[in-house]
Amino acid sequence: MAVLEIILVIFLVFSALMAVYFDEELISIIFLSIFSLVLTALYLLHKAADVALAEAVIGAGLNTAIFMSAISQIRHGDSD
Amino acid sequence: MDIRILLLILVPLGTAFLIPFIDLINAKLRRFFVLLGILLESYLIISIIINNFQQLKNGEFFLQYYLGGWHPPLGITLAMDALSLVFAVITALSLFLIVIYSIGYIGHHEGKYYVLYFLIAAASMGAILTADMFNIYVFIEMLTITSGALIGFKRTQEASAAAIKYLIYNVLAGLLFFLGVLIIYFNLGTLNMADISQNFASLESGIQLFISAIFLTAILIKMGIFPFLFWLPKSYDTAPSPVTAVLSGVLSKVYIYIFIRIFWTVIGFETLEALNLNVLLLDLALLSSFFGHVFALQSNNIKRLLGYSSIGHIGMITAVIMLNTEAGFYGGLLHIISHMFMKAGLFVACGYLLQYTRSHAYRDFKGVGIRNRSVFIAFIALLLSMIGMPPLLGFASKWYVLMAFLEARSYFGAFIVIFGSLTAVIYYLRYIAKGFEEVKLTEDDLKEEIYSRPLLSVLYREKIVSFITYAYTAIIVGFGLGFRFFDLPLRMSIESLMNVERYIELVLGG
Amino acid sequence: MNKLMKKIMISVVLTGVAFALYQNFSLMPEYQGLNEGLSNYIIKSGLNDTGSLNLITAVLYDYRAFDSLGESTVIFGAVSGIVLILSRKMLPVSSKGLSFIVKRALGIMTPFIALFGFYVITHGHLTPGGGFQGGVILAAISIIFSIVYGSAFDYRRYSPQTKTLFETGGALTFLGLGLAGILMEGAFLQNLGFLTAETGTLISAGSIPYINIGVGFKVGAGLAIIFYSMIQKTFEEDF
């Protein structure tokens, strides 16, 4: 249990650092999504099912979609 | 249990929720609906004052409401003491004037504008009335999101950039605030302000310092005190004038209220003194005031200049409150009231004066005064009040602030007050002189002028807008002559602010 | 070089903040379990007070329902702001969507996603979940429609007007239940006593399921509107 938690926390920090480190937006977004996923697992480990559900749905699902649509707008550069 | 203080929050909230429905039915009804909402709000405030006037006089004024029927510390409590009453009254008055101004000024996307406006109204009322830490965070978040959207209202590149900058700074501040609330809950197991206040002294001093520092950083960012002021001028400049009036007239004052509430009622000034934060904060605020006035001197843009001057005044208010003397509170609260009306009035007047100019820059200010003579005179009166001319409200409040600094032997503070007035003379007179400069309009200019008036095309709209400017000037002149009017509410609010034990007792026991 | 300097600066600041946080969190007392403060009371008598098996929902929609009203209002404000800033006078641009296989597969899956969303919303007082989470799942359907079938399909199925109607309807449901609390029980957002039933059944826990439904519609429609206004230039909504 404790080992699993430590591994997950390390993953959490790693994905957060990677999300900051890369300049490419797409990679950052994917790492953020991984971050949310790991966070969901951590929440579940601590028996916070409600928060885990919210984090999975919003952090890993919706946020990624919204960020993707935002960067697709940036790529096309048609922001008059 | 007085339901009216709950309705103070619910009326603007319900108005905001209903506006999209009204839009779907008939967009023309919206304007009357908005007026109805704000009139109802004013009625509530007035009825609260009238019904409780005797208690207010005796210093016993206190109303509260238990949401969901849960008594503290279990549920959320709304509480209104004399200090909240003063802030609620001036906030409601400002919101009332600015919404009428908006009816004349805002020409497009009115539906969404009013939704966001009423959400700001609800959130500022909520932040003033609540007695619960997490609830105050919720309302701060609401204020941030809605005002951020309104800063980007013009949808130009500049406006979007300013809105994003504003959101980054303020969401960060909100997160810090949230962290503070979390740590408080973790350590004390309660969120009710009175309950926290009772138990705060039992914490270790390291944790006390940590919590105080977090709240301090969050609120300093929100108020725009020195190290964190860089979001402010840009967003004041690019937002439409009524929004700027709300930002400077309502939001910054609400944040000052939260500042007072947290550092006097919840954390307690003794704790700050024990942690030596008060001296630091006093100097920081005075420095911020100094920098605000210096930046204002070199600014070439009228709205940005007013933003910098706001920084100067808010720094001064924070400093004079930090003295923690009765005179300090008196001057600070009076200056909050006068600054609220002066700044909102100035931005409102700016919105009228700058409607035909190409930009807000200094060179485009040429000839503005000749074209709209009467409004420009009102504008000058407001500027003089900012400087501190004797018969106006600005003089009275600055006088009390100066006296408070002298009484506390804080000569640097007194110097800052006088320095602010003197620099204000320089930077405002520049604009007044420019405004009276003759300008010869060429054919092209005239043509451009006609095309560039999408906002105030209809006559009655222009009437409304100038009327509100005159109303602000009348307030400044009238209360400047009769500033003793504020004597009773200010003394009562200082009493309730100083007497923390009574607040705790009333919230927890009442 | 400049970029490297910036990164080094940022990492120094972040390390400093992390160190300060660590320093202060280590000062804090050991977590004493749930024996102290409000949490103890809520665990002991939350079920009795509210009739909701899921105590988190009990806190969110009963003890501190006013906060939930505020939070959903934040989403309402964000939606209004985003629509305000992003809406432009342009015809909707539509993509053709993805391939036939994806369309068919998601055509089969979508009803189940919707069912799951409604389940999470309506069983908020019994199992983990609630209005916020279920609402986001419902919003995901609209997002799937836009991505897989093209945004014109989404526009035809659920026009922005419908979504606005759902959103404000949800908000007004929440507010209306609160006002009903004043009329029937005496305090804003107080749990409606006449709706309570046997604990553990679907229709129990007073007004909590209905508030959940309101929040679910509000959040779902709101987030769908946000996504919709981000992927394309919407119609001007009002003038």
Which amino acid is residue B117, in one-letter code? Y
| Residues on chain C touching B160 (C-beta within 8 angstroms) | 85
CB contact under 8 A, A66 and C57: no
Q: What is the mean pLDDT of residues B305-321?
A: 91
Q: How confident is the model at residue A80 (pLDDT cuts 50, 70, 90)?
A: very low
Domain that holds residue C204: 53-231
The answer to whether B135 faces chain C, any CB pair under 8 Å, is yes
| Per-residue pLDDT at C234 exceeds 50 | no
pTM: 0.92
CB contact under 8 A, B145 and C190: no
What are the helix (H) ranges across A1-80? Answer: 2-21, 25-45, 49-54, 63-76
Q: How confident is the model at residue B201 (pLDDT cuts 50, 70, 90)?
A: confident
What pLDDT is attached to residue B186?
A: 83
How many interface pairs between B and C have CB atoms less than 8 angstroms apart?
157
Q: Fill in the DSSP letter of residue B226.
A: G
**C37 inside domain:** no
- pLDDT tens digits for range C112-158: 999 999 998 888 888 888 888 898 998 888 888 878 887 677 777 77
CB contact under 8 A, A57 and C133: yes
Domains contained in chain B, number: 1
Could you tell me which chain C residue has the CA closest to the CA of B65? Answer: C187
Q: How confident is the model at residue B87 (pLDDT cuts 50, 70, 90)?
A: very high
d(CA B411, CA B406) in angstroms, rounded, equals: 6
Q: What is the mean pLDDT of residues C159-168?
A: 84
| Per-residue pLDDT at A78 exceeds 50 | no
What pLDDT is attached to residue B174?
A: 92
Domain that holds residue B49: 3-509
| Per-residue pLDDT at C97 exceeds 80 | no
Q: How confident is the model at residue C235 (pLDDT cuts 50, 70, 90)?
A: very low
Q: Which residues pair with B66 in a beta bridge?
A: B77
What pLDDT is attached to residue C115?
A: 93
Closest Cβ–Cβ partner in B126, B149, B204 for C27? B204
Helix B205-223 / helix B277-297 crossing angle, nearest 10 deg: 20
CB contact under 8 A, C28 and B190: no
Mutate to test the interface with A, among C88, C223, C231 (most CBs of A within 10 A): C231
Give me the phi and psi of B78, to 5 degrees please: -100, 135
CB contact under 8 A, B138 and C85: no
d(CA C76, CA C167) in angstroms, rounded, equals: 8
Q: How confident is the model at residue B334 (pLDDT cuts 50, 70, 90)?
A: very high
- pLDDT tens digits for range A57-69: 888 888 888 888 7
| Residues on chain C touching A65 (C-beta within 8 angstroms) | 140, 143, 147, 227
d(CA A40, CA A14) in angstroms, rounded, equals: 15
Average pLDDT, chain B: 86
| Per-residue pLDDT at C205 exceeds 80 | no
Q: How confident is the model at residue B442 (pLDDT cuts 50, 70, 90)?
A: low
What pLDDT is attached to residue A25?
A: 84
Q: Is residue B505 classed as helix, strand or coil in its secondary structure?
A: helix
What pLDDT is attached to residue A39?
A: 92
Least reliable range by pLDDT among A39-43, B329-333, B352-356, C121-125: B352-356
Instruction: Identify the helix (H) or strand (E) that includes residue C231.
Output: helix C208-231
Could you tell me which chain C residue has the CA closest to the CA of A47? Answer: C128
Assign 3-class secondary structure to B290-325: HHHHHHHHCCCEHHHHHHHHHHHHHHHHHHHHHCCC
What pLDDT is attached to residue C237?
A: 40
- pLDDT tens digits for range B109-143: 888 889 999 999 999 999 999 988 999 999 999 99
| Per-residue pLDDT at B453 exceeds 80 | no
Q: What is the mean pLDDT of residues B67-95?
A: 87
